[in-house]
Structure 1
Amino acid sequence: MSLTVHTQQRGEVAVISVVGELDLATAPRLQEHITDLLDRGRSRLVFDLTQVSFCDSTGLATFIHAKNSCDEAGGFVRLAAPRRDVLRILEVCGLVEVLRTYPTVERAVNPTAASS
């Protein structure tokens, strides 16, 4: 399966839409995208996981690496709208305590906004 990555800037936050399976074969593509954003001074990242159908340990490591890099740069990493299977992997691995997860992209971009 392939992976598609697209970024949309929302103010100071880069929303990275990830589509497909995130695994050993596709994670390097996402890592390159993240590295490019960091090189351009973008350290506030929200990953839209709405269309990620699978995520293995390599994908999880990519998010952790991104978080560490963004933390060092004074930014953040937030995961938005993971599917049930992906959320379960995050829970089982104990990463929901490390990677902030939000039910929607909008809440991840602005977590202090009132719910509608």
Structure 2
Amino acid sequence: MEIGVLLVVVGMDGGHLKGEWNGMMLTLTCKDANNEMIHVATVIGPKEDTSLYKTLLRNCKKNPKMRDLLEDSKTTFFTDQHKGATCALRGEAPLAQHRYCLRHLILNSEEKIGSM
């Protein structure tokens, strides 16, 4: 009898870099066994697109333990609604679950409603 199942939740998001480091920084984050936020990986590139998200995931998969995690159906990714993240996950982590961050859904909805 299985007592518990480890469910891994991974946050994947990007931030704009301004000034000297102009571009995008994408990160993967998780929580550890102590419920503390941990940084997993970062990639920096010129723009937020499918290619940069794929680079982030492919670099993570070079580590065998990370590859197992990213290819596990018990892993759930939370992202904003960026098409690049969705496409990259379909290609690089096809068994993982993909969900949208509620905060981003609300912000995006408010922007769309406000522009009507």
Per the TM superposition, whether the score is higher than 0.5 is no
